[in-house]
Structure 1
Amino acid sequence: MTETLYPFLREGETDTESLIEQVRRSTAAKAMEVVELRARVVAAEEERLRACAAAMADRFARGGRLLAFGNGGSATDAQAVAGAFCAPAGGARPLPALSLTGDIAVITALSNDVGPDVVFSRQVAAFGRPCDIAVGLSTSGNSANLLRAFDTAAARGLLTVGLAGYDGGRMAELDSIEHLFVVPSPSVHRVQEVQTTLCHLLWELTVETLGRDMREESD
C-alpha cells in the first residue's frame, strides 16, 4: 500500500532533502486533485443536490428523521453525517438524525444470528417511518447490506439518498434509490473526501431550505 501511494519511498533512500521534496510534491498533487474533483462533482450535481435537499427539508418539516449507514470508513462518515444534522456547529438548527452503525450490540447480534447483509435493513425496518430519510454511503457502491437497506427503505416510503464512488456500482442499478450521487474516481481516498463535501452541502442546503420555508410561512 505504501509503495502504491508513495512510490518514491524506496528502500535505501538516503537523500533526505530529495525525499522531503517528493513528499511535498505528492501531498500538493493529492490536495489539488481532490480540490478539482470536488469542484467538478459539485458543479455537475448542483441542481440535483438542491432538489435532494428540498426533498429532505420536506421530510424534516413533516417530523422525519435521518437514518445514516455505511461500512468501514463509510460507517464513520455515516456517524459524521448524523452528527452534522443532529448537533450542527455554529448554533444552526439541530435536526433529528441517527447513525445505524453505532449500536455494536445490534450490529453484532444481527451479523451473528442472521447475517451481515441485514444489519442495516433490519434497523430501517424497525426505526424507519414514511416521513424519514435513509442515507447510505459506499465507496464501491456494491455493499450488499446497503442494497438491502435501500430496498427496505423504499418499500416503507422513506426518502432514499445514496453516495457511491467509481461508476456507482450496483447502487446505480437500484430503482430504490431516489437521489444517487456518484464520485467518479478510482481512489477510495478521493471518493470519501468528496462524499464528505457532498454531505455537508446537503446539510447546508437542507437547513437553508427549511429556514426559507419557515420565513415564507410567517410572512
Structure 2
Amino acid sequence: MSGGVEALYPFLYAGAEGGAAGPVADVEASTERKAAEAAALREALADRFAGALAACARDLAASFAAGGRLLAFGNGGSATDARAFAALLAAPPSPGRPLPSLALAQDTAALTALANDVGYEVVFSRQVAALGRPGDVAVAFSTSGGSPNVLRGLDEAGRRGLVTVGFAGYDGGPMAAPGAVRHLFVIPSESVHRIQEAQTTLYHVLGELTAAALPCADPR
C-alpha cells in the first residue's frame, strides 16, 4: 500500500496491505454491546419509575392547569436535555396542547451577565428567583447529581414553592439527599452516554403522561 486514504486508515480496508477485519469487527461488536446496554437500561426503567413518573406527571399537569409554567436547567449536555424537554412541552406533536416552558440556559444574556458579574454558581438560582412563582415547576438535569449551580437552582425553587423535579445518574449524588427534590429520577449507570440516553427516554414519557393528565385539551 503506497499511500492515499488507505495508508491513513488501514483498519477500514480489510483487503489492503496492513488492513485487517479485526478492528472493524471490534467496532461492530462494541456498537452492538452499547445498543444492547441502552435497550436493557431503558427496559429496566419502566418498572423502576412507572409509578414515580405518573405521580410527577400529575403534579406537572396540576401546575399547568393552574396557570403555572416550567423552568428547566442544566449544564453542557444536560442544558441540551433541558432545552429539548422545554421544547417538547412548548411545541408538542399535534394535536398536543402547548405548555409554557423555558430552558434557562437559552437566555445567553442573563446567563453570561450572572456568570460574569456574580458567579457561575448562581446562573440558575437567580433566574429561578426572578421567574419562578409558587406552583410553577423546576426541572433540573445533571448526570452526576452534584453540579453546584443546579443544586442551588433546585434549592431556590424549593424555597419559593415550586414543584421540583430532578434527573441524575450514578447514585444521584447530592441531588438524592433527603428533601433536595420532590420528584427524583436516578439512572443507575456510570456511563454518561447511557445516563443521558435514558434521561431522554424518561422525559419523553413524562411529557406524554403530563399531556394525558391535563384536565382538558387546548380549546384552540
Q: Please report how far the alpha carbon of residue 214 of structure 1 lies from its aligned counterpart in structure 2 after TM superposition.
A: 2.7
Report the 3-state secondary structure (helix = DSSP H, G, I; strand = E; otherwise coil) of the residue aligned with 2:179.
Answer: coil
Residue 122 of structure 2: which of 106, 112, 118 is its match? 118
Q: Please report how far the alpha carbon of residue 91 of structure 1 lies from its aligned counterpart in structure 2 after TM superposition.
A: 3.0
Residue 199 of structure 1: which of 172, 197, 203 is its match? 203
1:43-82 to 2 correspondence within 5 Å? 43-82=47-86
> Which amino acid counterpart does residue 152 of structure 1 have in structure 2?
E
In 2, Cα distance between the equivalents of 1:20 and 1:33? 20
> Which amino acid counterpart does residue 48 of structure 1 have in structure 2?
A
> Which amino acid counterpart does residue 214 of structure 1 have in structure 2?
C
Structure 1: segments with no counterpart, 5+ residues: 1-10
In 2, Cα distance between the equivalents of 1:103 and 1:56? 23
Pairing 1:153–2:157 present? yes
Q: Please report how far the alpha carbon of residue 196 of structure 1 lies from its aligned counterpart in structure 2 after TM superposition.
A: 0.4
Larger Rg: 2
Pairing 1:178–2:188 present? no
Conserved? CA contact 2:72–2:104, under 8 Å: yes
In 2, Cα distance between the equivalents of 1:24 and 1:91? 40
Report the 3-state secondary structure (helix = DSSP H, G, I; strand = E; otherwise coil) of the residue aligned with 1:89.
Answer: coil
Residue 18 of structure 1: which of 18, 22, 30 is its match? 22
> Which amino acid counterpart does residue 91 of structure 2 have in structure 1?
A
Deviations 1:15-67 (A, max 9, x none): 34322222111111101101100111221110011001011100000001110
Deviations 1:56-99 (A, max 9, x none): 10000000111000001001111001000001123311111010
> Which amino acid counterpart does residue 197 of structure 2 have in structure 1?
E
Q: Please report how far the alpha carbon of residue 12 of structure 1 lies from its aligned counterpart in structure 2 after TM superposition.
A: 7.8
> Which amino acid counterpart does residue 65 of structure 1 have in structure 2?
R
Q: TM-score, normalised by structure 1?
A: 0.89
Pairing 1:209–2:213 present? yes
In 2, Cα distance between the equivalents of 1:169 and 1:131? 26
Conserved? CA contact 2:166–2:184, under 8 Å: yes
Q: Which residue of 2 aligns with 1:129?
A: 133
Residue 33 of structure 1: which of 37, 49, 52 is its match? 37
Q: TM-score, normalised by structure 2?
A: 0.89
> Which amino acid counterpart does residue 80 of structure 1 have in structure 2?
A
Structure 2: segments with no counterpart, 5+ residues: 1-8, 12-17
